[in-house]
Structures are given as structure tokens and as C-alpha cells.
Homo-oligomer: A and B are copies of this chain.
Amino acid sequence: MPIITILLAIFKPIMPNIEILTIGEELLIGQTINTNAAWIGEKLNEIGLKVHRHTTITDDKEIIKQTLHEAAQRSNVILITGGLGATNDDVTKKSLCEYFNVGLVRHENVLTHIKEIYSRRNRTLNLAMESQADLPENCTCIFNHAGIAPGMWFDENNVIYVSMPGVPYEMKEMMQNFVLPELKKHFSKQQIYHHKIWIASLGESYIAEKLQDIENNLPQHIQLAYLPQIGILQLRFTAIGKDIDVLIQECQEIEHKVCAVFGNAIVGIGEISLPETVANLLKEKSLTISTAESCTGGYLAHLFTSVAGSSTYFMGSVVSYDTSIKIQQLGVNPKDVEKYGVVSEQIAIQMAEGVRKLLNTDIALSTTGIAGPDGGDDLNPVGTVWIGYTDAQKSFARRFVFEKDRLRNIQRASLMALDILRKELIK
């Protein structure tokens, strides 16, 4: 199909053809869902570059070489993940050596790094581990700050090949600190600006309907994407142009219009999570908080403590999974447990008030519900959660009914509790 090849060649200087090659049997048999490819696609998109193709193959030298050969015919950049471990089933490095017909050279700084890691773990090095410091002669080493196996950057015959580990954490570190900046230097001429607005607790189609006017009046160079997550939705406006200051100003004007539509449902602007938004509000107002958790089982405390520096406002949590602990530690009234049931407005409020007193904080949150997948009855089906709030002035609780999936219910209830707190803090 020479026509395509020619067309692609014409477009090369404007926008490179980038393809992703993920290597790993576990991806093909469905044992692991390929989140790396989606993440890479998104990050490239943020710097104005686009993935044209993504291929997954097994750890087989001949197939890897053949696929690289095909990819090099149609692409300027080939981003490879996987197959860089020290075990026998990892053959990416060997395949690259054979593909480029080169030998290996030892990188002493990598060896020192490997030795340090192993000595910290009190392990002795063997030859297989040491050999991770050997890289193809023709590559630039991408140091692995998050693990052991280094990445590799090749620039051969106008094609850039980048080989990275399949471990998401290590791949992301290399992409962010080395590969993305390098690719941007090579290819990105236009400025791209992303403006993110976070909206809580509303449905996607409701939001889309409310935004119809704004969306229809967007200029051609600004695009809107709806990116729903659990309990929260990100609106991402992507503006492309020559002058970054103009793009920022345009997006800020749109932001004002969006804020006018949604009011206090706007959780935050930019790169911020709900726990971070709440953290900033608590710090700003010098307020402390504690939690009493039943159905969320520690996950709400985890959301608070996932933010660095949370010890200044988050005092602690009582995960009162057993009813006796609600009564003994939190001072919940056993007669009310009998009368209203443990999943009730009354118990949610008593839990919140109990932990606030016990841990001596300004505010307290509580959760009690049926996370599932089993349990529940007509009155309180699986997914029913009461979230309690209390401060010096008032106490209340709100009821939600989520779905049947245990983990999602735990996550949604915890995020909803954070959002209730957020709304109180901005009042």
C-alpha cells in the first residue's frame, strides 16, 4: 500500500507517527488489562502528540523483531514497554540487539545503582541481575529512578525507538522525566494548553446538557472532553495555538462561564484531587478532622492520609467494624442500634459525634452501610450508606444507595463523604 506510506511521509514533519508496542503474554491472555497504553496515549495527547497505532505481542524474539521491522516502515517513534526483567521470559533487550545487530556494553553507573538496591534489601547479586546493567551499544541509557532495569533510547535511520519496563510505576517515571520532554523537544511546535475543571456528584449527561451552549460556542482550536471517574468528572478543555498566554486567557474565560453554570458543584481547577481540595480548605481554615468508619473500613482515612502533610489536620480514625466497638469506643447508644439498626441516620450521627469527642477534633465524618456484595434487605438494600457529619455547631447525616460492587461502593462512599465535607467548608 504505497499510497499510505507516501501520505504518512508527507505529514511526518508536522505530526510524527507514534506507535506503542506493548510486549507481554499476560496482556494477550487478558490477565492484565493494558493501562500503560492508555496512559501513554493520554500523556502524549497532552503535549500535542498523537498515537496512531498500538500493538501487543508476546515475548518472542522473532515476533518482536518482525514487528519492529513493520513499525519502522510507517512510524517515526516506537514506544516499547515490557520484557526488560532479569528472567528468561524477558527477551526485549536481546531482540533489540539482534534487530540492530549490535552487542552489549556495561553501564557502570547502572551497576552501582543495582548493587545499592540489592544491598539495601540484603540480597546478593547474581550474574542475571548484574546483566541488567548491560545495554545495546547504540542506545542512550534511560536511568531507572523507580526500579532496576534501565530504559533505552535509540535513534536509527530517522526512527526513534524507546524501550521501557512494563511495570507502570517505572514506565511512568521514565516517560515523565525523560521521554516526554525529549519527544516534545523533537516534535512539538505548537503550544498545547489543558485546562481541567473538576465537577462532583452529578451525572455525565446532565452536565453535558447544561454545557451545551458553552460547548457549541467553543472556538475551533479548543476541544472539550468529558472524563468521568468514580464520584467525580473532569472537564478537560484542550487549546492548541502559537501563544500560550492567549490560550490560558481563553480557557480562563470559559472556566468563568462553567463556574457560573455549576456553582458549588465545582470541586477544583487544574491538577488537583478531591482529597487535595479538602486538604487545602482544612489547612486554610486551621481545622482538624477525624473519622469513624464502618462500611468504608479505613478507606476514608486512607484518602485523607494519601495527601502528603496530612498529619497537620487529620488526627485519626476509629474503624469500628464490629458493633461492639461502635458502642464501647464511640459511645453509640445500644438501644438506638436496636431501634434504628446500625445502618441508620441516628447511628451515623452518633458515630461522628463520638469520634469528634474521642479524638478531640473540630470536625468529624462517619460512614455506616452495607458495602456488599451480600447482605441488605428491603429497607436497606446492598449499597445503602449513611454518611454523618458533625462540627461544633451541627450534626447531620445523608443517605445514599450505590450499586452492588463492594470495592466501588467503598470508594464512592468515601469520596462522597469528602464532598460533603468540602461543601460544608466552602459555606
Interface residues in chain A, defined as those with a beta carbon under 8 Å from any beta carbon in chain B: 1, 3-4, 25-35, 37-43, 45, 50-58, 62-63, 65-66, 69-70, 85-89, 118, 120-121, 123, 126, 128-129, 146, 167, 169, 203-206, 208-209, 215, 223-228, 236, 291, 293, 296-302, 304-306, 308-311, 314-322, 324-325, 329, 358-360, 371-374, 401, 403, 405-408, 410
Contact = CB atoms under 8 A, between A and B. Distances in A.
Contacts of A304: 297-298
B408 A31 contact: no
B302 A299 contact: yes
B318 A316 contact: yes
B1 A308 contact: no
| 5 closest cross-chain pairs (CB), A and B | A297-B305, A298-B301, A30-B42, A30-B41, A298-B298
B316 A410 contact: no
* Chief secondary structure at chain A's binding surface: mixed
B29 A43 contact: no
Contacts of A360: 324
A308 B300 CA distance: 18
14 contacts: A3-B62, A25-B225, A28-B52, A28-B53, A33-B38, A34-B38, A54-B55, A128-B205, A169-B408, A298-B317, A301-B301, A305-B319, A315-B325, A316-B325
A3 B63 CA distance: 11
A321 to B, nearest CB: 5
A316 B306 contact: no
B62 A41 contact: no
A406 to B, nearest CB: 6
Nearest to A301: B298
A311 to B, nearest CB: 6
B30 A40 contact: yes
A405 B425 CA distance: 29
B120 A87 contact: no
In the complex, which of the residues A42, A62, A359, A410 has the most CB atoms of chain B within 10 Å of its own CB atom? A359
Contacts of A27: 37-38, 41, 54
Contacts of A291: 319
A62 B205 CA distance: 24
A215 B399 CA distance: 55
Given A41-B30, A311-B322, A204 B62 contact: no
